[in-house]
């Protein structure tokens, strides 16, 4: 019998890529998403139930109707500046809703969960690369809401049969090569998206937030991971839990950093557009350098990334952004 999994947030950027891989691998999929930032069009496999994790009664009904072998939990709010302005919304949508999900897992006996966490749980890191043993000291409500969710999962696992894989994402970017999936939320303004917007003339210029960091070219360094490799890590994590693997926290990154200037240079080269770049002050709370130590995920899951290539990340983002404009007519 095909295994049935619940994917919360499966209509969103990362969730939709994972749903596609799960569908290809033969899983039966129920996507639960309020479509606040995701889109039904991004759900290429399974059934979509429009619902909010805050609605515990509805969620119970969904669990009661289906027999899930595992839950993959993506649904969350993830914009750091917004989390500072609306912290309660972040604790509600991220932490409280993870609690709701765990309550349903408890009642219905679902004992495998894969949780989307973030490198933001580490906060202002003093050392690089960052390993899973680096102390967690998040510096904003977004990071804290995710870390609190991790604690809920870990504490509940101590007194139950729950086994988990918590994946801490570094800087996720890129889009699937078929052009069917990519970042659709207009709210996100991460570096590669921002540079592609400038290349596509959706804005007259882009900004570099800080050129006086203690890095070789003075700009921030991050570990950009292609969304398809990240999606594969979820399938491997699921297989790992199905084979009886014990609970794990795993960094998801390549262990290789690129500076803001290097990224912009590649976007200009690949798009063949020399857009204006303004150098401004540092953005509040931006660390100089964050790269992942990815040894553990390689060892535990045998994860072998296929798209560890900044040019590919940039070119798939550009292709997606171009076609998103054509298909939806929105910028
Ligand atoms: C962001 C989130 C982080 C989250 C991660 C993955 C913030 C502050 N942090 O990381 O919590 O885990 O996404 O979802 O939102 N930059 C520019 N110009 C731009 C945009 C960015 O110079 O227009 C710089 C930033 O200062 C930074 C680098 O580019 O040095 C990457 O920024 P961004 O893509 O926003 O991601 P992070 O802030 O690293």
CATH class in words for 4-173+224-252: alpha beta
- Which residue, by CA, sits nearest to atom 2 of ligand 1? 80
CA separation (Å) from 329 to 179, 189, 319, 324, 326?
15, 19, 15, 7, 5
Residue with tokens 């490198």: 119
pLDDT of the residue at 81: 86
Give pTM, 2 decimals.
0.96
Query: Higher pLDDT residue, 285 or 93?
Result: 93
Total residues found in the chain within this entry: 331
Q: CA 297 to CA 293: how far, in whole Å?
A: 9
Please check whether residue 137 is in contact with residue 122, taking contact to mean a CB–CB distance below 8 angstroms. yes
Name which of 29-33, 185-189, 208-212, 303-307 the model is least confident about: 185-189
CATH topology of domain 191-222+255-328: UDP-galactose 4-epimerase; domain 1 (3.90.25)
Enumerate the β-bridge partners of residue 290.
222
pLDDT one-digit tens code per residue, 252-275: 999 999 999 999 999 999 999 999
Q: Is 142 a catalytic residue?
A: yes
Residue nearest to atom 10 of ligand 1 (CA): 171
**pLDDT at site 126:** 79
Find all residues with CB under 8 Å of 60, minimum gap 6, and list them: 104, 107
Phi, psi angle pair for 278, to nearest 5° = -105, 130
Instruction: Please say whether the beta carbons of 231 and 27 come within 8 A.
Output: no
Ligand 1 pocket (Cβ < 6 Å) reads 78, 80, 118-120, 142, 171-172, 190-191, 194, 206-209, 220, 222, 260, 283, 285-286
Instruction: Give the closest residue (by CA) to ligand 1 atom 25.
Output: 209
177: pLDDT confidence band, cut at 50, 70 and 90?
confident
Are 229 and 251 contacting, i.e. CB atoms less than 8 angstroms apart? no
Domain boundaries, the chain: 4-173+224-252, 191-222+255-328
Q: Does the pLDDT value for residue 178 go beyond 90? A: no
Q: Do 4-173+224-252 and 191-222+255-328 have matching folds?
A: no
Choosing from 116, 209, 218, 284 the residue with most ligand 1 atoms within 8 A of its CB, the one to mutate for a pocket test is 209
For 191-216, letters b (16+ CB in 10 Å) and e give: bbbbbbbbbbeeeeebbbbbbebebe
Active-site hit among 45, 90, 91, 142: 142
Report the mean per-residue pLDDT for the chain.
94
**Confidence category of residue 325, pLDDT binned at 50, 70, 90:** low
Q: For residues 311, 237, 49 and 177, what is the CA-based torsion angle, rounded to 10 degrees?
A: 20
pLDDT digits (tens, 9 = 90+) for 291-314: 999 999 999 999 999 999 999 999
């Amino acid at each position: 019998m095909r295994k049935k999994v619940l994917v919360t947030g499966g209509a969103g950027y990362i969730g939709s890529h994972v749903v596609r891989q799960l569908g290809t691998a033969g899983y039966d999929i129920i996507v639960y998403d309020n479509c606040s930032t995701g889109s039904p069009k991004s759900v290429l496999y399974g059934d979509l139930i429009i619902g909010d994790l805050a609605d515990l009664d509805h969620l119970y009904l969904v669990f009661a109707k289906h027999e899930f072998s595992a839950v993959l939990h993506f649904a969350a709010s993830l914009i750091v500046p917004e989390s500072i302005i609306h912290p309660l919304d972040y604790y509600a949508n991220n932490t409280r809703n993870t609690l709701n999900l765990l309550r349903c897992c408890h009642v219905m006996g679902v004992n495998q969960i894969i949780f989307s966490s973030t490198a933001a749980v580490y906060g202002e890191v003093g050392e690089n690369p960052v390993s899973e043993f680096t102390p967690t000291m998040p510096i904003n409500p977004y990071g804290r809401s995710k870390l609190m969710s991790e604690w809920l999962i870990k504490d509940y696992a101590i007194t139950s049969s729950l086994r988990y894989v918590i994946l801490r994402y570094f800087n996720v970017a890129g889009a699937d090569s078929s052009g069917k999936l990519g970042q659709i939320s207009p709210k996100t303004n991460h570096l590669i998206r921002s540079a592609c917007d400038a290349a596509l003339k959706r804005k007259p210029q882009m900004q570099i937030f800080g050129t006086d960091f203690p890095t070789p070219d003075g700009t921030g360094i991050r570990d950009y991971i292609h969304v398809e490799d990240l999606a594969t890590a979820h399938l491997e994590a699921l297989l790992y839990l199905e084979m009886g693997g014990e609970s794990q926290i795993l960094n998801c990154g390549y262990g290789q950093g690129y500076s803001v200037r290097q990224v912009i240079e590649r976007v200009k080269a690949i798009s063949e557009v020399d857009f204006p770049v303004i150098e401004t002050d540092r953005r509040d709370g931006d660390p100089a350098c964050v790269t992942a130590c990815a040894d553990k995920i390689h060892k535990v899951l045998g994860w072998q990334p296929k798209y560890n290539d900044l040019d590919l990340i940039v070119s798939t983002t550009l292709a997606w952004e171009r076609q998103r404009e054509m298909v939806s007519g929105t910028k």
